[in-house]
């Protein structure tokens, strides 16, 4: 009976070790307050810590996913959101799974751009941007395959934020103009 119990414990320990080996590596930052998860297949490498909760990674990589550009509110009384136009990019799940993230907050769900104007100009185009600014359309969504670098992790509004620098679009994006509002994570 004791041999059976020891065998079961050994099997459980081996299974847990195998599961841990497949998961991301947890990196604890100096000071002990923050740590991040680094997936083994990540296209980026840690470059430097810019502040307590601001990390920069190096590496150029390709993403496919959906972008959203538009207004957060169509209510003029909503002074905090009425004039806000937001741009986000939601990479497909296979790409998200490769990006580092704050270990206590879970994997990345969306990205922002450090250089919105370049993305907007090359992917969305001036005509649709004008329509959004003039409120002829509340938002524009679409799919794009893009190249980015300078992956950055931070905390903003007590929530994790992840951003990249847009480099180029790989192929013509799809675009859908809409009268739906863009959802924001923090106002």
Are 171 and 143 spatial neighbours (Cβ–Cβ below 8 Å)? no
pLDDT, position 7 = 44
* pLDDT tier for residue 186 given thresholds of 50, 70 and 90: low
Question: Mind listing the pLDDT tens digit for each residue in 151-180?
Answer: 999 988 788 999 999 999 997 777 776 666
Are 154 and 161 spatial neighbours (Cβ–Cβ below 8 Å)? yes
**Exposed/middle/buried for 147, CB within 10 Å: 0-12, 13-18, 19+?**
middle
Terminus-to-terminus CA distance in the chain, angstroms? 60
- Least confident range from 3-7, 38-42, 68-72, 139-143: namely 3-7
Q: List C-alpha distances in Å: 14 to 11, 20, 106.
A: 5, 10, 25
Please state, in angstroms and rounded to a whole number, the distance separating the CA atoms of residues 108 and 57: 15
Q: Domain coordinates of the chain in residue numbers?
A: 24-178
């Amino acid at each position: 009976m004791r041999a059976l119990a020891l065998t079961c414990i050994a099997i459980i320990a081996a299974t847990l070790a195998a599961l841990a080996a497949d998961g991301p590596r947890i990196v604890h930052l100096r000071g002990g307050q923050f740590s991040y998860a680094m997936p083994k297949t990540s296209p980026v490498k840690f470059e430097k810590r810019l502040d307590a909760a601001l990390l920069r990674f190096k590496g150029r990589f390709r993403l496919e996913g959906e972008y959203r550009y538009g207004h957060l509110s169509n209510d003029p009384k909503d002074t905090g959101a009425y004039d806000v136009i937001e741009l986000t990019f939601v990479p497909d799940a296979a790409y998200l799974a490769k990006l580092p993230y704050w270990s206590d907050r879970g994997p990345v769900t969306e990205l922002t751009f450090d250089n919105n104007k370049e993305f907007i100009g090359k992917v969305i185009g001036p005509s649709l941007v004008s329509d959004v600014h003039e409120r002829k359309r509340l938002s524009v969504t679409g799919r794009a395959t893009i190249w980015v670098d300078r992956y950055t992790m931070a905390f903003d509004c007590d929530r994790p934020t992840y951003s990249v620098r847009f480099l180029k679009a790989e192929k013509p994006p799809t675009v859908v103009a809409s009268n739906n509002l863009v959802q924001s994570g923090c106002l």
